[in-house]
Structure 1
Amino acid sequence: MHELKISIITVCYNAESTIERCIQSVINQYYSNIEYIIIDGGSSDATTGIIDRYKGQIQRVVSEPDKGMYDAMNKGIAMATGQVVGMLNADDVFTDNSVAGTIAAAFAENGNDILYADLNYLKPNGNVLRKWRSGQYRTGMFNKGWMPPHPTFYCKRSLYDRFGIYSLDFGTAADYELMLRFIHVKKASVFYLARVVVNMNTGGVSNNSYLGRIKVLFLDLKAMYKHDVQLPPIALLYKRLSKIRQFF
């Protein structure tokens, strides 16, 4: 039986301070059948020079202007040849070298369309700030503000052909909208891997300013109304409140 191929996509722009440890966390995985794709948005710092050091261990590298991170992710998806596709952002890392193999085994054993897991948010000093423990998905949980952490979201590549790619109409909530579409609306089969697979640095695109936080609230609501989430304002409230318990 052939090993499942996993395509891991990293999108980056001016990420010289973090891209190397991200790359190393992928190429140091014990699992061998990984297709690694990096989509750079035309960085003006040392990012591309750092990537060049590892070109022999990266299957595809593109550096050109794009329309933002989700446009870059869509470019990566179009290039991917693995049966399963996942994203690892430039300032995130896998928790250890067994993550890819564990994900591959879960897909092979369970036959699921989608897998998600848990993650930690790290402070700049490397200590854990928040713990996102997803829990098992049950039908209707998106109506209660639930969502899985996008950096732990892996799905069969065929789902993008069937259900579409990231929609640029939802800005920084494009990942939420896609997961809502795939899981809540299209009812793809889901498996919860109950372990931390990603360490994520705080200060993402949607959380780096008060204006950014307010904007993403409206984009979340837009996605909820589009996909018939019950009582979107209440679901949005639950979605925000759920973050509080991540600190404990």
Structure 2
Amino acid sequence: MNKGGYAISGISSIKEDHIPLISVITVVRNGAEFLQACIDTVRNQEYPNIEHIILDGNSQDRTVDILIENSHNIAFWLSEPDNGIYDAMNKAIQYCNGDWYMFLGVDDLLLPGFSELANNLVDKSTAYYGCVIYKGIPQYDGPINKFKLVRANICHQALLYPKIVFETHQYDVNYKIAADNVLLLRLWKEQKIKFEYYEIVISIFNHLGISGTDWDRFFFKNRSKLIYDNLGTLPYLYHLYVSFLEKARKKINKRIHKFKHFIGADAG
């Protein structure tokens, strides 16, 4: 096990005690290609009270070398085996000292808007969120509601959770890619924290990462039940309706494709 960071030397992450401390959490495995840029975008933020916590899953590339080289810019880093993305995130939380937590992928980048949003953190029972750049385009989806949650999640890289969330919750590691979706649904049901939206682009979300290129089979297997249990009857019925339309559209498109193929083959 390797570890480092300036907090190990007893240096506090807090630079100004009259404003909140934000813990930015990054989990990585063999991410040397992206890690330095990720660290730099956190370090270069105008907002002063940020600690960067990085959990590495026993990388075999230059990841640990980069962490060692940047120990003066990272509050705490640890390299050891883990059981996946959300297991690493759960472990990272215990090393955080912030009032709010933000999860940034190693291949994602913070933008200046992050500091702008950080200046609006007031209520420690509120989760604040903004927008991301996805596939080169800013995504402005507005305030979330239970019907939007049926079909979409608040992007993890746009969301700052208050510390109190993780005093009673962890990510469910049974969901390998969508545990953040599951947590959000459960928090929405509990109604113990509020969600506040700002039309500010705070990060670049790399759509080529695992959450953009794969899908969580266990989540989609349980999706209907999760929606019913956490959002209620009307959102559940809406989910069934939209799912029916999507399946019908796929069938129609498949038949159109077959017909075009038949026409083309016949013409040949």
Q: Do both proteins adopt the same fold according to a TM-score greater than 0.5, normalized to the shorter chain? A: yes
The amino acid that maps onto 2:143 is Q
The amino acid that maps onto 1:27 is R
> Whose Rg is larger?
2
Give how far 1:190 is off. Answer: 1.2
The amino acid that maps onto 2:23 is S
Alignment deviations for residues 103-144 of structure 1 (CA, whole Å, 9 cap, x no partner): 332112x5651011111123xxxxx1x443221134x33564
The amino acid that maps onto 2:226 is A
Aligned to 1:244: none
Residues 238 and 56 of structure 1: CA distance in aligned 2, closer, same or farther (over 3 Å): farther
Task: Tell me which of 152, 161, 164 is aligned to 2:167.
Answer: 161
1:115 is aligned to 2:128: yes
Task: Tell me which of 195, 199, 206 is aligned to 1:190.
Answer: 195
Aligned to 2:260: none
Cα RMSD (Å) of the superposition? 2.6
Aligned to 1:218: 221
Aligned to 2:35: 19
The amino acid that maps onto 2:88 is A
Aligned residues: 228
Aligned to 2:24: 8
Residues 63 and 106 of structure 1: CA distance in aligned 2, closer, same or farther (over 3 Å): same
Q: Where do 1:44-193 residues align within 5 Å?
A: 44-96=60-112, 98-99=113-114, 101-108=115-122, 113-122=126-135, 128=136, 130-138=137-145, 140-142=146-148, 144-162=150-168, 164-193=169-198
Give how far 1:2 is off. Answer: 1.1
Alignment deviations for residues 152-178 of structure 1 (CA, whole Å, 9 cap, x no partner): 11111112113x111112221101011
Which consecutive unaligned segments of at least 5 residues does structure 1 have? Answer: 123-127, 242-248
* Counterpart-to-counterpart distance in 2, 1:90 and 1:146: 22
Report SS of the residue matched to 2:178. helix
Aligned to 1:43: 59
Aligned to 1:206: 211
Percentage of identical aligned residues: 27
* Counterpart-to-counterpart distance in 1, 2:212 and 2:218: 10
Which consecutive unaligned segments of at least 5 residues does structure 2 have? Answer: 1-16, 247-268
Answer whether contact 1:117 1:192 (CA < 8 A) is retained. Answer: yes
Answer whether contact 1:115 1:155 (CA < 8 A) is retained. Answer: yes
